[in-house]
Amino acid sequence: MTNMLQKVAGLSGMTDQVIATDFLISTKSAVRNMTFALTEAATPEVRDVLRGQLNYAIEAHEKISQYMMEKGYYHPSDLDEQLTVDLKASKAALKLAD
């Protein structure tokens, strides 16, 4: 049923990309927030915990980025290609709004 709905909406194959992109954005935010929290930590124990969480978030970001690059969803070093991918995703999102 889900595949049929995706095809009707013109989103077949887009679900993985949308989920991965959302996850990548969330991980980037976690890295940024964890870094900020680390600079504000008052005790060595808190800093140790935050460093561990920061390392985990960086590793997750790397894995998600690699997955997205392998699938052709993410082109961090080719802005023209990334623009093409982003425009395609934007058009698909606009179809949902109709």
Position 32 scores a pLDDT of 97
Contact 9, 96 (CB under 8 A): yes
23-49 pLDDT, tens digit each: 999 999 999 999 999 999 999 999 999
Contacts of 70 (CB under 8 A, 6+ apart): none
Position 14 scores a pLDDT of 65
Residue ranges in the chain modelled with pLDDT below 50: 1
Position 1 scores a pLDDT of 46
